[in-house]
Amino acid sequence: MNEKLCDAIDGLMPSLTDLFKAIAVRSHDGVGISRDAYGAVETATGDILIEYARARGLDARYDRVGNVNVTRKGQFDKPPEILIGSHIDSVPRGGNYDGLAGVIAGIGALAALEHGGGAGTGGLRVLGFRGEESPWFGTAYLGSKLLMGAIGREEAERLKRFDTGKTLVQHLEALGVDISQLGRAAIPLDRVKAYLELHIEQGPHLESIDKPLAAVTAVRGNIRYPFATCEGRYAHSAGVPRHLRADALMATVKLIAYCDELWRREIEAGHDDLVFTCGILQTNSAEHSMTKVPGEVAFSFNVGGVSDAVMERFHAAAMDKAHALAQEHHVRFDFGSRVGTNAVDLDKDIAELLRWVGREAGIDVERMPSVGHDAAMFARRGIPTGIILVRNANGSHNPDEHMEMTDFAVGLKLLTMSTARIAAQNG
């Protein structure tokens, strides 16, 4: 690896570590980290990042849709050719590294290239997206979608933040965003040659195999029913025999158990990227009791994977089983509206470049799929896209998110050197 760039990164690491700490202090909610999408703490995070970048001689400001943008001096108004991005918001009571690590890595890479010699990277832009996490407005990737012009005013008027009740338009207006420009791309995407994103891994795989980094091969798609229900009939538990019951809970847990078995069979057939989750399962607390047959259950259904065909097969089998269980238990399943996204393959050449640069530096870079990130929005637009995952011992979206700064430094070096190689290839 380029020794000057590595030395520049090593020199930046103490201040980058302090940057993580400063943002953690500002974002702490008493339990974990809460950086509210299009809210005060998210904005404070952006302000801290902008101040840090400017102190390193970079041009940093908010763009016209409210995202953090960082470039070399004199490059802000020029069309970008390489993008490095991630998000600055968090889930409520989450951790400090999900999203933020990628934005700080981008600023670190740009600063290292500025001071360590990165010819040909004048067209590099770092993006700190707002509103990537779905809990705030019920949908994800708001900042990257707004950047691309994929959200117009009508949709922004419909989206409401769960805790404030205000629309996305109202939140944008409070930030000084010109609403009349919604629906128009904030940068010329046709000039972008590549998009890169560094992100903590959101599961335990890298920790389990003792590797610090991975190059992502694909972003999982998903089929989701956030508000599914099963309706049966309440009854006295001691007075109704099995064949006369309409037990909503029994039918629902049988469906979940069936999906778990179906998941196991798909993994044994070679589809080990498939995941199934029922994150919500509850009876009605106003009605349930130990001596009642449950008459209603609320639950969620979430299947994800890198193959749309496998997900659809899993979904069809689950729906057939739900129909059969409804007849067996005299209940009615209502899954509500189906939502989700298609799986996205990432650029094979970039994934191989990341692994090649890693091998050159003595880093064994794993290959693996990942969950959704802003990167998926760029890949869907046909922009060559790559993701670097950094080992994280405790999962994400929780206060115990953890990333060793030594792993971050290795990931930052891989990101910086790979960016320089892509710039040279496109020069």
pLDDT digits (tens, 9 = 90+) for 410-419: 999 999 999 9
Over residues 101-146, the pLDDT tens digits come to 999 999 999 999 998 766 667 799 999 999 999 899 988 899 999 9
CB 329 within 8 A of CB 230: no
Region 86-92 average pLDDT: 97
What is the CATH code for 3-220+343-426?
3.40.630.10
**For residue 323, what pLDDT is reported?**
98
**For residue 325, what pLDDT is reported?**
98
CB 330 within 8 A of CB 241: no
What is the percent of the chain with per-residue pLDDT over 90, rounded to a whole number? 90
What is the percent of the chain with per-residue pLDDT over 70, rounded to a whole number? 99
Region 268-281 average pLDDT: 95
Summary mean pLDDT of the chain: 95
- Answer whether residue 424 shows pLDDT above 90: no
- Answer whether residue 1 shows pLDDT above 70: no
C-alpha span between 65 and 129 (Å, rounded): 10
Region 170-176 average pLDDT: 97
The CATH T-level fold of domain 221-341 is Alpha-Beta Plaits (3.30.70)
Amino acid at 241: P
Q: Which residue has the higher pLDDT, 383 or 1?
A: 383
Q: How confident is the model at residue 427 (pLDDT cuts 50, 70, 90)?
A: low
Integer-rounded Cα Rg, in Å, for the chain is 23
Over residues 15-62, the pLDDT tens digits come to 999 999 999 999 999 999 999 999 999 999 999 999 999 999 999 999
The Cβ-side half-sphere exposure at 58, using a 13 Å CA radius, reads 27
Domain-by-domain residue ranges, the chain?
A: 3-220+343-426, 221-341
- Answer whether residue 97 shows pLDDT above 70: yes
Over residues 307-337, the pLDDT tens digits come to 999 999 999 999 999 999 999 999 999 999 9
Amino acid at 190: D
**For residue 133, what pLDDT is reported?**
95
- Answer whether residue 8 shows pLDDT above 60: yes
- Answer whether residue 377 shows pLDDT above 90: yes
pTM of the model: 0.88
